[in-house]
């Protein structure tokens, strides 16, 4: 039998390392060393990682409109730089994508087109008129015309009942004049019930707000702007109610505003709030000066804005897991390497401990104990970052003393996650019980991440907490079992776990064998038929389950049938491209991020469970790992280059890419693969 075509037995795993027939271990080791060195070099002066988010056409358009509404003359140069950047970075087809690597989409194109139309031909920006003409053609090709009614209908259809982004888009278009004259334009902006902000915060989940939990400032500011420009009829009681409550709600925008001035540290949200207030006669609102200052500070040298200031906490926990994670505990060489890295990363442990929230958060009313994605004032605690911090702290603690020091923080984080778990057994991102809109629902990849966090500290937490974790795991497994997507019998679309039928926009037919996968909430892929990312989602869920030791084949775990790991691994292997890489689905252009996560989870699975599997499954998985590693080595030039892909979702169908993602995920993948390939 040819080497590299079978998974070794347990005894073979302890044999001396040799070279795989397809991957040179010397080349692999060099790539690991290069990638590790580069990742460590990306730390800031404080010793942690800030990362670097992609510049965003969407953010740039919203920022220049907001600044022009507040004071066009004062901010003239900043506005002009932003507009020039938009013109320069228009796609060849005449539209704009969210990043410079993104396909054109309707939302971002409407925002950029409207922002340029705002100048009414009076600017000195080179090629502005040409850019507008090209955008006219693109929009007409997508919508059918430039008629405001058609544009409004297309935007509303894109986001459905979730008004979190459809209403801000229409508001910006109304402000810039692309929906018609003042009252006519604003009447097309869907009204938002900003009066609901006067209710007790604990009621928000129950009343079913038309925006997601983290968009409360937009609900208030945009809802009021629409009320001012296009109020209800004289005899409509909402006119009286909204007018009477504004004085009570007005101060909330300042109360919710962080000291940095940026809501959620996000340029789009801050811009939408600012332009809404300015357009409705509230330029002097107490929150406006700080919001404007935030926007000015967030501008980049090239005239663009990112979607958010940074993902420092998220990036730091990802980097920590990539550097210190692995299944080679007990082997002297790897343990020595980890010990050296832990000492070098001691500032990271101290920094992470300081980032935990100790008080109730004013923005979402979140309890103490969680972590946000950033260390900046606009961050809000969320489940994914809390799980990431809990896992990272476990890796960073080398001694019993360090573990005792970190244990209170870990227990508080675990408790925070347990309290957040929804009734359906899944884990939402921010708030429990807000299940009306997709981005407030439970999501599989975040639930699996929480399982990994709980498992990392289970041996050390108090017994009462350990007992709570057992019950939570049972509910989580039941949730994950029912949250897999499937293909329609006709092969013309998907059926979500919620029963939603998602039609394909093309004549492509899906393979009926692809019956079960998980769809992530915060990641997607522009090139899949419905812009989802089943490959990435399935890999992330399996990663969490493997680290939590919850994937035993057959039988049950605490009474819940275990999830068939072999079935999902077969499916992941089937999605591999002929070149060895993975994209968001079969036949989709591969990326370093997606390929890395799949290689990592396949390698981890082979390390932990492969020896018990059928020969064909083992051989196929190992072959897929070898081909994936070869693809990664070629794509990164052996750890020297790390091209990023816009697979991150800021919100539904709004994309970003992050410079650190391909670095951390490829390092984790190569390290995990080496553990397997060195024993073949």
Per-residue pLDDT tens over the stretch 381-394 = 999 999 999 999 99
Lowest mean pLDDT among 34-38, 327-331, 361-365, 408-412: 327-331
- Chain segment 561-599, per-residue pLDDT in tens: 455 677 788 889 999 999 999 999 999 999 999 999 999
| Mean pLDDT for all residues in the chain | 88
Give the pLDDT score at 495: 63
pLDDT at position 563 is 58
Long-range contacts formed by 361-367: CB under 8 A, 24+ apart: 362/255, 362/256, 363/214, 363/216, 363/256, 363/258, 363/264, 364/213, 364/214, 364/430, 364/431, 365/201, 365/202, 365/431, 366/416, 366/430, 366/431, 367/416, 367/419
**Confidence check: pLDDT of 503 > 60:** no
pLDDT in tens, 409-428: 999 999 999 999 999 999 99
* pLDDT number for residue 614: 73
What are the residues whose beta carbons fall under 8 Å from the beta carbon of 668, sequence distance 6 or more?
A: 321, 322, 325, 596, 600
- Structure tokens given for 283: 């330029």
- Chain segment 182-212, per-residue pLDDT in tens: 899 999 999 988 898 888 777 776 666 777 7
**Percent above pLDDT 90 for the chain:** 69
Query: DSSP secondary structure string, 353-405?
Result: HHHS--S--TTT-PPTT-B-S-SSTT---BHHHHHHHHHHHHHH--SHHHHHH
Q: Among 41, 171, 61, which Cα is nearest to 660's? A: 41
The reported pLDDT for the residue numbered 574 is: 92
Q: What is the pLDDT of residues 267-293, one digit of tens each?
A: 999 999 999 999 999 999 999 999 999
- 110-127 average pLDDT score: 87
Flag whether pLDDT at 251 surpasses 80. Answer: yes
> Tens digit of pLDDT for each residue in 481-499?
888 765 554 555 666 665 5
CA distances from 292 to 123, 270, 288 (A): 22, 9, 6
Percent of the chain scoring above 70 in pLDDT: 87
- State residue 501's pLDDT score: 60
Domains and CATH numbers, the chain: 24-53+310-348+361-409+420-483+518-677 (1.50.10.20), 55-306 (1.50.10.20), 485-515 (no CATH)
CA–CA distance, 317 with 597 (Å, rounded to integer): 16
Q: What is the reported pTM?
A: 0.91
User: What dihedral do alpha carbons 266, 299, 99, 446 form, nearest 10°?
Assistant: -30
161: its two tokens: 């009942």
Note whether 586 and 574 are within 8 A (CB).
Answer: yes
Distance, CA of 78 to CA of 298 (rounded, Å): 11
- State whether residue 544 is helix, strand or coil: helix
Q: Which two tokens stand for residue 608?
A: 């932990």
82 has pLDDT over 80:
yes
The count of residues in the chain is 680
User: pLDDT-derived band of residue 345, with 50, 70 and 90 as boundaries?
Assistant: very high
Strands 654-656 and 648-651: antiparallel
Q: Specify the pLDDT at position 303.
A: 98
Q: Do residues 447 and 431 lie in contact, with contact meaning Cβ atoms separated by under 8 Å?
A: no
**9 or 152: whose pLDDT is higher?**
152
Average pLDDT over residues 70-88: 97
């Amino acid at each position: 039998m040819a080497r590299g075509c079978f998974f070794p037995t347990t005894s073979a795993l302890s044999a001396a390392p040799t070279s795989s027939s397809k991957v040179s271990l010397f080349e692999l080791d060099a790539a690991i060393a290069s990638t590790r060195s580069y990742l460590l070099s990306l730390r800031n002066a404080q010793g942690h990682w800030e990362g670097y988010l992609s510049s965003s056409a969407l953010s740039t358009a919203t920022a220049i409109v907001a600044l022009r509404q507040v004071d066009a003359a004062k901010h003239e140069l900043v506005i002009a730089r932003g507009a020039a950047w938009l013109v320069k970075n228009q796609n060849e087809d005449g539209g704009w994508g969210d990043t410079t690597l993104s396909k054109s989409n309707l939302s971002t194109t409407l925002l950029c087109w409207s922002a340029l139309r705002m100048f009414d031909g009076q600017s000195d920006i080179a090629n502005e008129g040409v850019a507008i003409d090209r955008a006219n053609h693109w929009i007409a090709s997508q919508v059918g015309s430039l008629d405001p009614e058609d544009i409004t209908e297309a935007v509303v259809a894109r986001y459905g009942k979730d008004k979190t982004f459809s209403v801000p888009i229409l508001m910006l278009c109304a402000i810039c004049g692309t929906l018609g004259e003042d009252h006519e334009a604003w009447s097309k902006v869907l009204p938002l019930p900003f009066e609901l902000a006067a209710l007790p915060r604990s009621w928000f989940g129950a009343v079913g707000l038309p925006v997601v939990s983290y968009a409360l400032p937009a609900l208030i500011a945009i809802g009021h702007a629409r009320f001012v420009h296009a109020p209800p009829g004289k005899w409509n009681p909402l006119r009286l109610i909204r007018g009477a409550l504004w004085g009570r709600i007005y101060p909330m925008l300042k109360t919710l505003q962080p000291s940095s001035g940026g809501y959620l540290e996000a340029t789009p949200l801050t811009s939408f709030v600012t332009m809404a207030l300015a357009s409705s006669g509230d330029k002097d609102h107490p929150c406006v000066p700080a919001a404007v200052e935030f926007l000015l500070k967030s501008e980049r040298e090239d005239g663009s804005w990112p979607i958010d200031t940074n993902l420092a906490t998220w990036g730091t926990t990802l980097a920590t897991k990539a550097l210190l994670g692995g299944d080679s505990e007990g082997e002297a060489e790897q343990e020595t390497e980890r010990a050296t890295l832990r000492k070098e990363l001691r500032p990271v442990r101290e920094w992470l401990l300081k980032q935990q929230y100790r008080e109730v958060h004013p923005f979402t009313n979140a309890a103490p104990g969680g972590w946000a994605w950033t260390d900046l004032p606009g961050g809000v605690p969320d489940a994914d970052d809390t799980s990431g911090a809990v896992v990272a702290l476990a890796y960073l603690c080398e001694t019993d003393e360090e573990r005792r020091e970190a244990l209170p923080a870990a227990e508080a984080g675990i408790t925070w996650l347990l309290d957040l778990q929804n009734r359906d057994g899944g884990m939402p991102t921010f708030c429990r019980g807000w299940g009306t809109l997709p981005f407030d629902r439970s999501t599989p990849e975040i639930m699996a991440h929480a399982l990994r966090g709980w498992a990392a500290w289970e041996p050390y937490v108090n017994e009462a907490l350990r007992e709570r974790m057992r019950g939570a795991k049972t509910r989580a497994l039941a949730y994950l079992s029912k949250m897999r997507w499937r293909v329609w019998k006709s092969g013309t679309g998907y059926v979500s776990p919620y029963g939603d039928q998602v039609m394909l926009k093309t004549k492509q037919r899906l393979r009926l064998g692809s019956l079960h996968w998980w769809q992530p909430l915060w990641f997607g892929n522009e090139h899949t038929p419905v812009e989802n990312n089943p490959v990435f989602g399935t890999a992330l869920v399996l990663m969490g389950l493997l680290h939590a030791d919850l994937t035993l084949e057959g039988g049950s775990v605490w009474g819940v049938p275990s999830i068939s790991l072999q079935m999902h691994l077969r499916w992941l292997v089937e999605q591999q491209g002929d070149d060895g890489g993975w994209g968001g689905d079969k036949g989709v252009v591969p990326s370093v991020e997606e390929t890395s996560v799949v290689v990592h989870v396949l390698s981890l699975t082979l390390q932990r469970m492969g020896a018990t599997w059928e020969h064909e499954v083992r051989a196929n998985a190992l072959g897929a790992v070898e081909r994936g590693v070869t693809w990664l080595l070629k794509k990164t030039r052996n750890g020297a280059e790390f091209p990023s892909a816009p697979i991150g979702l800021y919100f539904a169908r709004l994309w970003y890419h992050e410079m650190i993602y391909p670095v951390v995920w490829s390092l984790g993948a190569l390290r995990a693969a080496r553990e397997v390939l060195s024993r073949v």
